[in-house]
Protein backbone atom coordinates (compact mmCIF):
# COMPACT_ATOMS: atom_id res chain seq x y z
CA UNK A 1 0.00 0.00 0.00
CA UNK A 2 1.17 3.46 -0.82
CA UNK A 3 -0.67 6.16 1.10
CA UNK A 4 0.21 9.86 1.30
CA UNK A 5 -1.11 12.88 3.18
CA UNK A 6 -4.04 14.51 1.40
CA UNK A 7 -6.64 17.23 1.92
CA UNK A 8 -10.38 16.73 2.09
CA UNK A 9 -12.97 19.48 2.02
CA UNK A 10 -16.63 19.61 2.92
CA UNK A 11 -18.73 20.56 -0.10
CA UNK A 12 -21.35 22.44 1.92
CA UNK A 13 -19.26 24.38 4.47
CA UNK A 14 -15.97 24.65 2.58
CA UNK A 15 -14.10 23.39 5.67
CA UNK A 16 -10.79 21.81 4.69
CA UNK A 17 -8.76 19.24 6.66
CA UNK A 18 -5.37 17.59 6.18
CA UNK A 19 -5.51 13.80 6.46
CA UNK A 20 -2.16 12.58 7.84
CA UNK A 21 -2.01 9.18 6.14
CA UNK A 22 1.60 9.15 4.90
CA UNK A 23 5.07 8.79 6.42
CA UNK A 24 4.51 5.50 8.23
CA UNK A 25 1.01 6.23 9.55
CA UNK A 26 -1.15 3.15 10.04
CA UNK A 27 -4.08 3.02 7.63
CA UNK A 28 -6.94 0.55 7.17
CA UNK A 29 -8.13 1.16 3.61
CA UNK A 30 -11.52 0.13 2.26
CA UNK A 31 -11.12 1.34 -1.30
CA UNK A 32 -12.95 -0.25 -4.22
CA UNK A 33 -10.61 -1.89 -6.70
CA UNK A 34 -10.73 0.06 -9.93
CA UNK A 35 -7.98 -1.45 -12.07
CA UNK A 36 -7.40 -5.11 -12.84
CA UNK A 37 -4.46 -6.29 -14.93
CA UNK A 38 -3.88 -9.83 -16.13
CA UNK A 39 -0.18 -10.72 -16.00
CA UNK A 40 1.20 -13.83 -17.69
CA UNK A 41 4.48 -14.95 -19.25
CA UNK A 42 3.71 -12.95 -22.41
CA UNK A 43 3.32 -9.69 -20.48
CA UNK A 44 6.45 -7.63 -21.02
CA UNK A 45 5.22 -4.38 -19.47
CA UNK A 46 5.26 -5.34 -15.80
CA UNK A 47 5.21 -2.32 -13.47
CA UNK A 48 8.56 -1.88 -11.68
CA UNK A 49 6.79 -1.56 -8.29
CA UNK A 50 5.09 -4.90 -8.91
CA UNK A 51 8.36 -6.62 -9.86
CA UNK A 52 10.01 -5.23 -6.70
CA UNK A 53 7.05 -6.38 -4.58
CA UNK A 54 7.35 -9.91 -6.01
CA UNK A 55 11.12 -9.91 -5.32
CA UNK A 56 10.66 -8.81 -1.70
CA UNK A 57 8.44 -11.85 -1.15
CA UNK A 58 10.66 -14.26 -3.11
CA UNK A 59 7.93 -14.81 -5.70
CA UNK A 60 8.54 -15.49 -9.37
CA UNK A 61 6.52 -14.18 -12.32
CA UNK A 62 7.73 -16.87 -14.74
CA UNK A 63 4.91 -19.21 -15.74
CA UNK A 64 2.15 -18.07 -13.43
CA UNK A 65 -0.92 -16.16 -14.47
CA UNK A 66 -1.45 -13.37 -11.96
CA UNK A 67 -4.07 -10.72 -11.54
CA UNK A 68 -3.10 -7.32 -10.14
CA UNK A 69 -6.02 -5.45 -8.57
CA UNK A 70 -5.46 -1.82 -7.68
CA UNK A 71 -7.65 0.74 -5.97
CA UNK A 72 -6.98 4.41 -5.50
CA UNK A 73 -8.62 7.63 -4.37
CA UNK A 74 -8.69 10.31 -7.04
CA UNK A 75 -9.59 13.98 -6.93
CA UNK A 76 -13.34 14.46 -6.70
CA UNK A 77 -13.96 11.10 -5.01
CA UNK A 78 -16.34 10.82 -2.06
CA UNK A 79 -14.22 9.77 0.92
CA UNK A 80 -15.06 8.85 4.51
CA UNK A 81 -12.22 9.14 7.04
CA UNK A 82 -12.28 7.88 10.62
CA UNK A 83 -9.56 9.25 12.88
CA UNK A 84 -8.76 11.81 15.58
CA UNK A 85 -9.31 15.49 14.79
CA UNK A 86 -6.53 17.89 15.84
CA UNK A 87 -5.83 21.55 15.22
CA UNK A 88 -2.24 22.73 14.79
CA UNK A 89 -1.46 26.37 13.85
CA UNK A 90 -4.88 26.94 12.23
CA UNK A 91 -4.58 23.69 10.26
CA UNK A 92 -7.32 21.16 10.91
CA UNK A 93 -5.87 17.64 10.75
CA UNK A 94 -7.23 14.11 10.94
CA UNK A 95 -4.59 11.81 12.45
CA UNK A 96 -4.53 8.09 13.34
CA UNK A 97 -5.89 7.23 16.79
CA UNK A 98 -3.25 6.19 19.36
CA UNK A 99 -4.69 2.67 19.76
CA UNK A 100 -6.84 0.29 17.66
CA UNK A 101 -10.59 0.95 17.50
CA UNK A 102 -12.99 -1.92 18.18
CA UNK A 103 -15.96 -2.30 15.84
CA UNK A 104 -18.13 -4.07 18.37
CA UNK A 105 -20.46 -6.90 17.53
CA UNK A 106 -23.62 -6.80 15.42
CA UNK A 107 -25.29 -10.21 15.62
CA UNK A 108 -28.16 -9.15 13.37
CA UNK A 109 -25.71 -8.57 10.51
CA UNK A 110 -23.43 -11.50 11.46
CA UNK A 111 -20.52 -9.13 12.14
CA UNK A 112 -18.04 -10.31 14.75
CA UNK A 113 -15.87 -7.87 16.72
CA UNK A 114 -12.72 -6.65 15.00
CA UNK A 115 -10.00 -4.11 15.75
CA UNK A 116 -9.10 -1.48 13.15
CA UNK A 117 -5.64 0.08 13.32
CA UNK A 118 -4.92 3.65 12.33
CA UNK A 119 -6.98 5.82 10.03
CA UNK A 120 -9.92 4.13 8.35
CA UNK A 121 -10.37 5.26 4.74
CA UNK A 122 -13.50 4.37 2.78
CA UNK A 123 -13.90 5.38 -0.83
CA UNK A 124 -16.51 4.23 -3.30
CA UNK A 125 -16.59 4.80 -7.02
CA UNK A 126 -18.69 7.97 -7.32
CA UNK A 127 -20.37 6.64 -10.46
CA UNK A 128 -21.99 3.89 -8.35
CA UNK A 129 -23.55 6.08 -5.65
CA UNK A 130 -25.80 9.13 -5.56
CA UNK A 131 -23.55 11.37 -3.48
CA UNK A 132 -22.01 14.80 -3.80
CA UNK A 133 -18.25 14.54 -4.47
CA UNK A 134 -16.01 16.55 -2.13
Tell me the backbone φ, ψ of residue 121, rounded to 5 degrees: -110, 130
pTM of the model: 0.59
Report the length, in residues, of the chain. Answer: 134
Contact between residue 115 and residue 102 where contact means Cβ atoms under 8 Å apart: yes
For residue 112, which of 120, 103, 122 has the smallest C-alpha distance?
A: 103
pLDDT, tens digit (0-9, with 9 covering 90-100), for 46-79: 667 777 777 787 877 666 777 776 677 777 777 8
For residue 101, which of 115, 113, 112, 82 has the smallest C-alpha distance?
A: 115
pLDDT, tens digit (0-9, with 9 covering 90-100), for 7-51: 888 878 888 888 888 887 788 777 777 666 677 666 666 667 777
Amino acid sequence: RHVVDFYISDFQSGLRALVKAGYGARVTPYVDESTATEINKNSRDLPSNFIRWLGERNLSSDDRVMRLNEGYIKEGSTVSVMGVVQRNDNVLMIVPPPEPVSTGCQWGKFLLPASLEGLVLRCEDSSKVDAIPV
